[in-house]
Amino acid sequence: MRLEKFRGIIPAFYACYDDQGDISEARTNALCDYLYEKKVNGVYVGGSSGECIYQNLDERKAVLTYVANRLKGKMTLIAHVGAPSTRDSIELAKHAATLGYDALSAIPPIYFKLPDSSVCKYWNEIIDATPLDFIIYNIPQTTGYTLTTSLFEKLLANPKVIGVKNSSMPTMDIERFKRVGGDNVVVFNGPDEQYVAGRMMGADGGIGGTYAAMPELFLQANEFFLQGKFEEAKRIQSHINDIIVALCSQNGSMYAVIKEVLNRRGVNIGSVRGPLEGISNEDMGRIDSIISMIDEATQQFCK
Ligand SMILES: CC(=O)N[C@@H]([C@@H](O)[C@H](O)[C@H](O)CO)[C@@H](O)CC(=O)C(=O)O
């Protein structure tokens, strides 16, 4: 029961900036409202898609506050609090706890390559700082650190550790973490390109950076999976992947492209913060065709 709220489709929340590139409360609210209307199961705030790595502590606290004020009690809220220092991570964790988040999450330490003992200590110090549940964030392709099943097992000794958001590419990692934790943990699929495969390998749901660009498609893929309609789930995944390839094939970063897609849907959340690239004039001309791909797939699969 305690873990039930952590299942399903949980979009990674984007950074919402004004035209000057500052965090915008109004635009954050607009994205909250859009996702609420789409009936997603929750949001993961301040992670990779939230551009956390490019924001200072006050900005990250503000985003956590705005989202909680708008969505608390309406869906599951997970706060990503990973930061370069343990001190800053704890400050963010305590802030999220005062706002009523359902769980915390954090990447491992970045920049210095630290031993497992330091990584374990870092996560445990965040966990000890608040009464909230904790979801480990494993994303080796950006952090350079790979969570092992043995460290996962060790961390699970703390009852506040309820699972892992696994963004590594092998779906076998999902199966291994689920094997270690069983029904007492939630494992989230990270790579959106293999959402259905991740579910097949045991993931309880997903947290993804492209969900908000096409929430209906991911919700439907999840529905097909739950209904045992695996052929349909596979077909919708193929369409999702065509769209992700298009989102990632522009001059601007994937997040900049998604933000322009949302802008054309009436949800203006600004652009991205450098060094991420904004979209080019050339990209601008191709956004409508990406929107058509999303709309056509939605029409085909979501009745
Ligand atoms: C490496 C990376 O950014 N992975 C994304 C994916 O959702 C990714 O955007 C997607 O699979 C497209 O490649 C997520 O796992 C990250 C995420 O959910 C987040 O913290 O924003």
Q: Could you tell me the pTM of the whole model? A: 0.98
- Ligand 1 centroid to 11 CA: how many Å? 10
- Name the closest-CA residue to atom 3, ligand 1: 48
- Ligand 1 centroid to 207 CA: how many Å? 8
In this predicted structure, what is the pLDDT of residue 276? Answer: 98
- Ligand 1 centroid to 175 CA: how many Å? 19
208 lines ligand 1 (CB under 6 A): yes
In this predicted structure, what is the pLDDT of residue 303? Answer: 78
Percent share of the chain, pLDDT over 70? 100
Catalytic residue among 34, 66, 101, 137: 137
The answer to whether 137 is a known catalytic residue is yes
For residue 190, the ligand 1 atom closest to its alpha carbon is 15
In this predicted structure, what is the pLDDT of residue 180? Answer: 96
| Beta bridge pairs of residue 163 | 135, 186
Q: What is the pLDDT of residues 245-280, one digit of tens each?
A: 999 999 999 999 999 999 999 999 999 999 999 999
Q: For the chain, which residues score pLDDT lower than 50?
A: none
244 lines ligand 1 (CB under 6 A): yes
213 lines ligand 1 (CB under 6 A): no
Catalytic residue among 14, 44, 165, 211: 165
In this predicted structure, what is the pLDDT of residue 41? Answer: 98
210 lines ligand 1 (CB under 6 A): yes
Annotated binding site: 207
ipTM of the complex: 0.97
In this predicted structure, what is the pLDDT of residue 137? Answer: 98
In this predicted structure, what is the pLDDT of residue 1? Answer: 76
- Ligand 1 centroid to 141 CA: how many Å? 10
Q: In the chain, what are the domains?
A: 4-226 (3.20.20.70)
The answer to whether 165 is a known catalytic residue is yes
